[in-house]
Amino acid sequence: MQHLKPWSSPLSHVCTWPRIDRSAYLVTVGDKVGFLARERQVAPPGWNRWLVPPAALAIHLSIGQAYAWSVFKTPLEKTLGITGTQSALPFQLGIVMLGLSAAVLGTTVERRGPRWAMLMSLIAFCSGLLISAVGVWAGQYWVVVLGYGLVGGIGLGIGYISPVSTLIKWFPDRPGMATGIAIMGFGGGALIASPWSTSMLTAFGATSTSGIGKAFLVHGIAYAVFMSVGVLLIRLPSKEFTAEKEALLKDRPKATVGFNVSANNAIKTPQFWLLWVVLCFNVTAGIGILEKAAPMLVDFFKESSTPVAATAATGFVALLSAANMAGRFIWSSTSDIVGRKNIYRLYLGVGALLYLVLLTVGSTSTPLFVIAAMVILSFYGAGFATVPAYLRDLFGTYQVGAIHGRLLTAWSVAGVLGPLIVNAIADAGKKAGHVGPDLYATSFYIMISLLVVGFVANELIRPVDPKFHEPKAAEETEKPSPKDDDEATVAKWNEAEAADVAETAADKEDAEGVVKK
């Protein structure tokens, strides 16, 4: 923190009052001392960068529990007497808050560092699970919505973006693979949570509020312990890593980005909003299946000669989670070779064709339905994992975490849009007496249309106009450290946090006016 400066006033001949430069205080308080200090997050010389992905996975595997929400849908509907659309509300609100909190707090996460962000994620996400337990025990569904959706959703957003920019800085030679490793954990969270939640509901009682509440309680405690590993292990690259970074990029000239764009400028570019459309519609198409996976499979084959039992449908959720998880690593790593634009052509174009397969012949074969849905979910997860690297290619590494946070508002929209389309149309179809695939035909047509629009948006993406590039001097503030956190760095972060220091600027103007008078 900067030294205190005397403040001249009309009474300066009587006394001198110390004045704190609050704009500098906003940047440096909490960054210089204690466990969460930024200097305590910097890796020592010789730190192995492969220790960072496990830290990211500890967070993402935990908050990825959100993808297993469909396991709780039927028990909550039966015990609390709610509809399928209502039971999707905590999940929908959670995804909305994920995008909003990531957008609002993206720059703060960049400034405070990943350890601070991971700790905040732990507190919010696990508190949301504990609040949900209380809500179920009390029989108050709105408490579950606020706990899991609102409070837990904030934890989702902070935890989702917290390790991404850090991994990109540690792995400049393979940004797609690096982000794929981390975000793979979010997709794979349900692979752990789905069978675990099912077994707990079976043991505690899925038909009683007491049993469901206990399941939420155990989740909250266990995930708090697991996420602590990531908080303790995460590190930022040191200044010594610069030389090693140059060596890593030497044989990969295509991985080098020679420009940077700030978060404020990024949202002024057409590239940002085209990518927003791409992400939103790719997510909408996948999340509609994922959120209603278990009941959808049962409904699809209910009137066929090979109906699917509810227990087998739970296994389907696990398979989708596995595909979601694998796609995040495999396809995003492939994007380092074939390019981001080409890989999104695969996600969106082939995804639309697979939805058409489900619509026309999906009900004729359970294996065909499962395989097609798994590939769609692999593209869905891969879209999340590849987009940070796409952003890095378009905007550089400077404030890429903050830009990523703003882009995740697309997920907020898709988190409402996808489940709403599928659930509302299915509920209306049931009232009209429809059964089997007819419950989802309209939904699938809508998903195909959205994927085609996303495909066109991806084709329109071009390199960012140089007028949005940052001056070279600004790029030096990309990685503030205790030694070079000088006045220029402070000024740059304050500019990025303009809203936070508006009051400070006003105070300074008032003070100067008094002095002049």
pLDDT at 242: 66
Which pLDDT score is estimated for 351? 93
| pLDDT tens-digit readout, 405-459 | 899 889 888 878 888 888 888 888 888 877 777 888 888 899 999 999 999 999 9
18-32, 140-154, 280-294: least confidently modelled range:
18-32
Q: Examine the domain organization and report whether 264 and 233 are in the same domain.
A: no
Q: State pLDDT tens for residues 252-282.
A: 545 556 678 888 899 999 999 999 999 999 9
Which domain-ending residue is among 462, 481, 504? 462
Check residue 390 and give its pLDDT: 92
Query: For the domain that residue 271 is a member of, what is the CATH number?
Result: 1.20.1250.20
- pLDDT greater at residue 109 or residue 313: 109
Residue 213 lies in a domain: yes
- In three state form, how does the secondary structure of 124-157 look? HHHHHHHHHHHHHHHCCHHHHHHHHHHHHHHHHH
pLDDT over 80 (residue 510): no
State residue 4's pLDDT score.
Answer: 46
Residues 189, 270, single domain; the answer is no
Confidence of residue 360 (pLDDT cuts 50, 70, 90): confident
Q: Look at residue 147 in the predicted model and tell me its pLDDT.
A: 95
Are 341 and 453 found together in one domain? yes
514 has pLDDT over 90: no
Distances (CA, A) of 9 to 5, 50, 113, 161, 505: 13, 55, 38, 45, 18
Q: Of the candidates 85, 408, 402, 111, which has an alpha carbon nearest to the alpha carbon of residue 263?
A: 402
Are residues 163 and 109 part of one domain?
yes
pLDDT digits (tens, 9 = 90+) for 468-503: 888 865 444 444 443 433 334 334 444 544 444 444
CA atoms of 187 and 128, how far apart (whole Å): 20
Note down the domain range covering 287: 253-462
With a cut of 60, say whether residue 505 has pLDDT above it.
no
Q: Are 244 and 157 in contact (CB under 8 A)?
A: no
Tokens of 35: 């466990």
For residues 218 and 282, state if they share a domain.
no
Read off φ and ψ for residue 17, nearest 5 degrees.
-100, 135
Of all residues in the chain, what percent are helix, strand and coil, respectively (each to 5)? 75, 0, 20
Residue range 383-397, pLDDT digits in tens: 988 998 899 889 987
Enter the tokens of residue 478: 């990309």
Please check the confidence at residue 352 and state whether its pLDDT lies above 50. yes
Report whether 91 contacts 415 (CB < 8 A): yes
Dmax over CA atoms of the chain, in Å, equals 95
Number of structural domains the chain divides into:
2
Do 263 and 169 belong together in one domain? no
Among 421, 447, 462, which residue terminates a domain? Answer: 462
Question: pTM for this one?
Answer: 0.70
